[in-house]
Structure 1
Amino acid sequence: MFKVGDNIIYPMHGSGVIEGIEEKEIQGQTQKYYVIKIPMNALQVLIPIQNIEKSHIRSIADKLSMAAALDIFHHGESDLSLSWKQRYKINSDKMKSGKLREGAEVVRDLTRMQNDKTLNSSEKQMLVNAKKILVGELRLIRGITEVQATDLLEMTV
């Protein structure tokens, strides 16, 4: 599915690159693993090739998909009527999906809420992580710096 050098998005962790494919024996079982470097969290993870679909890892989006996500980010409606528990559950599910559009919605909605009132610590942390993931993907797709990607998001929230 992926090859060495591919840029990927690992839900809840951010953008990364497939650094290698290695065969390893873990707990007496030999399998092939993707070796993934995730710079955002200074992580290197091994994902069994046979489990890659369950992990929701995906290739980075194309420019058209990012443009559509940014349109939703800047112009989409936010549902501010939910309790924080409902909102947290919905946003957690969106982040776990790894879908670009859903991640953009989480950043949009939490940023708008933060502009109106103080977020609780769980939602603040979710916003920080979701924003890092979105900025990381935007940076890769557009070939821009992290500062430029952050500025692009903050223009019209």
Structure 2
Amino acid sequence: MFSVGDHVVYPYHGAGKVQDIEEKEILGKKLNYFIVFFPLNNVTLMLPENKIGDSGLRSVIQESELAALRDALTANEAMPPENKSRSYSRENELLLKTGSIFDAAHVIAQLTAKEASRTNGLHIEDRKNLDRAQQFVLSELKAVPFLTDSEAVHFLERHRQHTP
């Protein structure tokens, strides 16, 4: 389980930090609640300990997973046909809601390749998904102890900028 001070990731909220663990009595039952602050959304959540497993709350990426993240960011993604763009946009939104850094990287790779192949840039929905995916990945990379903030930014920029 998690302790005060641990960096964690919660689906659609990005990386956060466990601020406190409080015992609360609700409806006659005592439960421990994790108080987690998420700077990306400027939100503090109280998550009951007995629901942590189902909530999707997880630890931040480990150093040993950086190569897999790099590969996900630089994957040569197939472009969706123009008439399928709305379904791909919805698929990207669903991927972002999983809380997986690898799913967010997949969205970045696909939309970066799509952006490079278009002369007039991305549609507004795609642009929002790309920005959100980059925010999620960056929030998590900045929360890991083995990277400084500037190294996290450099990692994302270096591996996002590829030629399809």
Shared fold (TM-score, shorter chain, > 0.5): yes
Equivalent residue number for residue 77 of structure 2: 78
TM-score (norm 1): 0.85
When Rg is computed on C-alpha atoms for both structures, the one with the higher figure is 2
Aligned residue pairs, count = 155
Equivalent residue number for residue 153 of structure 1: 156
Equivalent residue number for residue 18 of structure 1: 18
RMSD: 2.1
Runs of 4+ in 1 over 4 A off after TM superposition: 25-30
CA distance in 2, matches of 1:120, 1:95: 17
CA distance in 1, matches of 2:25, 2:86: 41
Equivalent residue number for residue 122 of structure 1: 125
TM-score (norm 2): 0.82
Instruction: Give the unaligned 5+ runs of structure 2.
Output: none
CA distance in 2, matches of 1:150, 1:108: 16
Equivalent residue number for residue 99 of structure 1: 100
What residue identity is the alignment partner of 1:69? Answer: L
Local SS of the residue matching 1:81: coil
Identity of paired residues, percent?
A: 28
Out of 127-136 and 25-34, give the one that drifted further: 25-34
- CA-to-aligned-CA distance 1:40-89 (integer Å, 9 cap, x gap): 12111111111112221110011121221112212x12121251222123
> 1:29 offset after TM fit, Å?
6.0
Instruction: Give the unaligned 5+ runs of structure 1.
Output: none
Equivalent residue number for residue 139 of structure 2: 136
Residues 66 and 100 of structure 1 are in contact (CA less than 8 Å); yes or no, is this contact kept in structure 2? no
